[in-house]
Chain A
Amino acid sequence: MRPVFYEIKRSITSKFSIVIIIAIIGLSALVSYEVDASSISGTSSASVSDISGYYIHGGNVTVVTFLYNEHGDPYTGSVPTLIANGTNYTGKEVSPGIYQFTITMKQPLVTFYVNYTINKFGFRSVEQSSIVTVNSRSPYSGYEVVGGLQNPRNSSSLGALIFYVGPNGNTSPPATIYLGHYSPGSPPLDVIKDHIAEYNYSGFTAVALFPSLNASSLEKINAVMIVQNNVSFGPYFVGTMSVFTPLTTSSIASNIFSTVGAILTLFIPLLAIFMGYLTYGKDRVTGVLESVIKRPITKGGLIRSRFLSNSVVIVSSIVVAVAVSDIIFHRYNNVYIPISLFLYIAWAYSIMGVSFLAISYLFSHVLRSLGALLGLLIGIFIVFDLFWSVLFDVVASALSLSSTSAAYVSTYVLFDYSSPAGYASLIQLFFTEKLGSIFSAGQSINPAAFGVTPLLIVIAGILWVAVPFTIAHILASKRD
């Protein structure tokens, strides 16, 4: 076995590392799921929905149910069941995603709902439609419109689904569909006048519409008007046509830093410090390292080999955690993290972790007592990771710095440069132009004005790793 593989294996398989790595990846996934899933609502997520209409013929009513996905496309993964008056009816698929149920209409009012089964994360989940009432005085349901469809070509814009059940189950006759801005209190015909999109369709049961939006359309309330043989139907409200804030690198960065970033900031220094202690510092202080130094390797070679092995484990944990978070992010937002952002995030937390690792190695060569070394490393973790922001608050408070002042930001940046745990915060500032929760109310700052430039960030990262490790390397090579 090549020694470096054994050292990587040893780094990964210590009980402490296993627990922390599982915590890093597992908690990153959970937090990402929690944040991403809760930020998405309705049909905008990858989901299945239903809409039902009906027509009455003779003494029967036929219910027409359409199952569709977030884009308004037919969903054929489940045969729905209709429940009316305690009786279950199995649907008959008449076209993709469209099912029919025929029941005897014993009363003037019939109430029903539809059940269907979908897959959620590999588990079967039974979904239930809202309750629909059939009134014998209305022989067919006609047009129904729902909003919130997600444009498959542009996740920042929504669409509307037009559903029609005509007399005897006929499809829609030729109709002009207008989709436009709607101001509460204004006449419905203003939708036609101010429409942003116009469509002509006929012979459909369900059709999805995705208007092209410009910036002025994003926050407006919209409605649909349907004109058939000079008769207007509507307005059908479809809300805003963009419930999504268009995703930018900055907003994705904010999301990732607030989810997986929070977990990594806590656990990566913990993993690095104690992995350094368990696989190097402890071995050195107790003399175990001598059983390796006596092999055909230099002392410098040994410290480099162990450091590299530990670093590989730390970086791998980060990459896996961010990748898992990325998959979850994609699950709910339909976009992956831009590769450049992925690399920057991996770089940021890798530098953070490897810096703490290097510090751990450095002090392993300064102290000769196991207890003193462990105590010091715990202290470094507590001060430089857990309480660094508290120290900043104390300093800012002592200096009476206003949280919106430039001095406050400068001090914040200075603190970030002064601890490896602050390194990710610098990268976050660079991408989001915000510092953590500061200026969160939409107020941006110019990173370069506070000394956060790509060059300085790279230099700071290299220094945080290189300086402690170089000193540790010199001590390892030149001292007993």
Chain B
Amino acid sequence: MIKIENLTKIYSRKQGPALDSLSLEIRDGEILGFVGLNGAGKTTTIRISSGVTLPTGGDVYIDGKSVTEEKPETSRNLGWIPEFPNYETNAKPVPLMKYFAGYYGLQGKEAEDTITNLLKEVGLWEYRNMKLRNYSQGMKKRFSLAESLLGDPGNLMFDETLNGLDPEGVQFVRELILSQKQKGKAILLSSHILSEIEAISDRVAIIHRGKLLKVLTREELRNLGLERINIEIDNVDKGAMGILDRYGQVERTDGKILLSSLKIGRDRYPEIVSELVESGYRVRRFEPFGESLEEFFFKTIGEER
């Protein structure tokens, strides 16, 4: 479990805080989508959690241990996959991973077996004799995935890992993330590809200018923002439109009706259907729906601006 408490980071006094008392919790077996504009503070949050950057205030707890106080223990249980993985240019994957493995107490055959399995898992085994400088960006990301899983950490942070990957790569990472989730790991997934976030996240945290604006649950994700209803009725006429007009704003296009700006709550939706039926209209479709995450995100950000 990852627990972020009142995390604050000020890089320069001339600028505002990169993070402003951010608090967040990622539970075991959960994927938390982490979204925000560039400069919102996503990467800073992840870097602080990884122990690479020091916080100005607050702390991050990995499985109950403080990043600022017990960094080696927290790093042992946290894998960070950065947006732009950066390694020694002349290193080859296996020797470098053996070096990294040493930090997790993996030695000898145990280390070799682990490295072999991880490189095979990410599809780099056949490229193990190439120097990392000759790897493509996608291969570097795959290598980053492999080396971040050394020591089998219970918590993972993906920072824009999907960026720059081809569709196959995106699918591979998605499946890897889901398989790690099934192992009960706490996963923070930062990405600009909101459709991916929406598809695999259990919750989504929206961050803007260092502040947490909202955390959406899976249920809320399905019904984001102000709801609308798609309605299809046989023989639509002014009477039907008049009925619907009392419940919200009606738009009609190509025989389909969109009811928005609803004046009643979800629990009273059956009233609309009942009144239409009682008035002799045949309702073929009545489908409430919310906004997409992208729409919701920009609306939320816009309100904050």
Determine if A297 and B75 form an interchain contact, defined as CB atoms under 8 angstroms apart: yes
Given A1-B98, A6-B99, A287-B86, also A294-B104 (CB < 8 A): no
Asked if residues A288 and B87 are in contact (CB atoms below 8 Å), the reply is yes
Q: Are B101 and A1 in contact (CB under 8 A)?
A: yes
Most buried by B among A3, A10, A296, A480: A296
Name the residue of chain A whose CB is nearest to the CB of B100. A295
Question: Given the complex, which residues of A lie within 8 Å of B86, measured CB to CB?
Answer: 286-288, 290-291
Neighbouring A residues of B50 by C-beta, 8 Å = 293-294
The answer to the question of B30 belonging to the interface, with a C-beta cut-off of 8 Å to chain A, is no
Q: How far is the CA of A293 from the CA of B50 in the complex (A)?
A: 8
* A293, B103: Cα distance in complex, Å: 10
Contacts A1-B98, A290-B86 hold; do A295 and B103 have CB atoms under 8 A apart? Answer: yes
Is A2's CB within 8 Å of the partner chain B?
yes
Q: Distance in Å from the Cβ of B223 to the closest Cβ of chain A?
A: 38
Interface residues on B, range: 20 to 34
Assess whether B102 is interfacial by the CB under 8 Å rule.
yes
Residue of A1, A14, A294, A296 with highest tally of chain B CB at under 10 A: A294
> Closest CB of chain A to B80's CB: distance in Å?
5
Binding site for B on A (CB under 8 A): 1-3, 6-7, 10, 14, 283, 286-288, 290-299, 301, 478-480
User: What residues on A are CB-neighbors of B90 within 8 Å?
Assistant: 14
List 7 interface pairs A-B (beta carbons < 8 Å), by A numbering: A1-B102, A2-B107, A6-B98, A288-B88, A294-B80, A299-B51, A480-B54
A286 contacts across to B, CB distance below 8 A: 86
B33 close to A (CB within 8 Å):
no
B51 engages A293 (CB within 8 Å) = yes
The number of A-B residue pairs with CB atoms under 8 Å apart is 71
Residues from chain B with a CB closer than 8 A to the CB of A299 are: 51, 71
C-beta contact mask, B93-125 vs A, less than 8 Å → 1, else 0? 001001111111001000100000000000000
Contact yes or no, B54 A296, CB < 8 A: no
Separation in Å of the B58 CB from the closest CB of chain A? 16
Q: Flag if A294 contacts B75 (CB, 8 Å).
A: yes
B57 at the interface (CB under 8 A from A): no
Query: What residues on A are CB-neighbors of B95 within 8 Å?
Result: 1, 6
A239 to chain B, nearest CB (A): 61
User: Is B76 positioned at the interface, with any CB of A under 8 Å from its CB?
Assistant: yes
- Find out whether the CB atom of A298 lies under 8 angstroms from the CB atom of B102: no
**Given A1-B107, A2-B102, A3-B99, are A295 and B75 also a contact pair (CB < 8 Å)?**
yes
Give the residue of B80, B85, B99, B103 whose beta carbon is less than 8 angstroms from that of A296. B103
Q: How far is the CA of A218 from the CA of B102 in the complex (A)?
A: 64
When A and B form their complex, which 9 residue pairs have the shortest distance between CB atoms, in order from nearest?
A295-B103, A6-B99, A296-B72, A296-B76, A3-B102, A287-B86, A296-B75, A1-B98, A294-B50
Q: Give Cα A299–Cα B86 distance, bound, in whole angstroms.
A: 17
Q: Is B82 at the interface (CB under 8 A from chain A)?
A: yes
Cα-based distance from A296 to B80 in the complex (angstroms): 12
Q: Which residues of B contact A7 (CB under 8 A)?
A: 99
B59 interface residue per 8 A CB criterion: no
The answer to whether B102 touches A290, judged by C-beta atoms less than 8 angstroms apart, is: no
Q: A6-B95, A290-B86, A298-B72 are in contact. List 7 more A-B contacts (CB 8 A).
A: A1-B101, A2-B102, A290-B52, A291-B87, A294-B52, A294-B75, A296-B104
Residue B20 CB within 8 A of the other chain: no
Contacts of B99 in A (CB 8 A): 1, 3, 6-7
A478 to B50 CA separation, bound complex (whole angstroms):
15
Query: Within 8 Å CB of A295, what residues of B?
Result: 75, 100, 103-104
If the complex has contacts A287-B86, A295-B75, are A479 and B54 also in contact, measured as CB distance less than 8 A?
Answer: yes
Chain B residues lying within 8 Å of A298, measured Cβ to Cβ, are 71-72
Most buried by B among A1, A7, A299: A1
Residue of B nearest to A1 (CB): B98
Contact between A3 and B52, CB atoms less than 8 A apart: no
Shortest beta-carbon distance, B195 to chain A, in Å?
29
State in angstroms the CA–CA spacing of A479 and B73 once bound together.
Answer: 20
Residues of A within 8 Å of B98, CB to CB, are: 1, 6
Per the bound structure, the CA–CA distance linking A277 and B90 in Å amounts to 15
* Cβ contacts under 8 Å, B111 to chain A: 1
Q: Identify which of A14, A291, A301, A478 gathers the most chain B CB atoms within 10 Å of its CB.
A: A291
- The residue in chain B whose Cβ has the minimal distance to the Cβ of A295 is B103
Q: Within 8 Å CB of B151, what residues of A? A: 296
CA distance A287 to B100 in the complex (A): 16
A288–B52 alpha-carbon span in the complex (Å): 12
Residues of A within 8 A of B107 (CB): 1-2
Nearest B residue to A4 via CB reads B102
Closest residue of chain B to A300 (Cβ to Cβ) is B71
Say yes or no: is B53 at the interface (Cβ < 8 Å to chain A): yes
A3 and chain B: residue at smallest CB distance:
B102
Residues of A within 8 A of B78 (CB): 294
Instruction: Name the CB-closest residue of A to B11.
Output: A480
Known: A1-B107, A288-B88, A298-B71. A293 touches B52 (CB 8 A): yes
Cβ contacts under 8 Å, A6 to chain B = 95, 98-99, 102
* Contact among A2, A283, A479 for B88, CB-based, below 8 A: A283
Complex CA–CA separation, A287 to B87 (angstroms): 8
How far is A290 from B71 in the complex, measured between Cα atoms in Å?
14
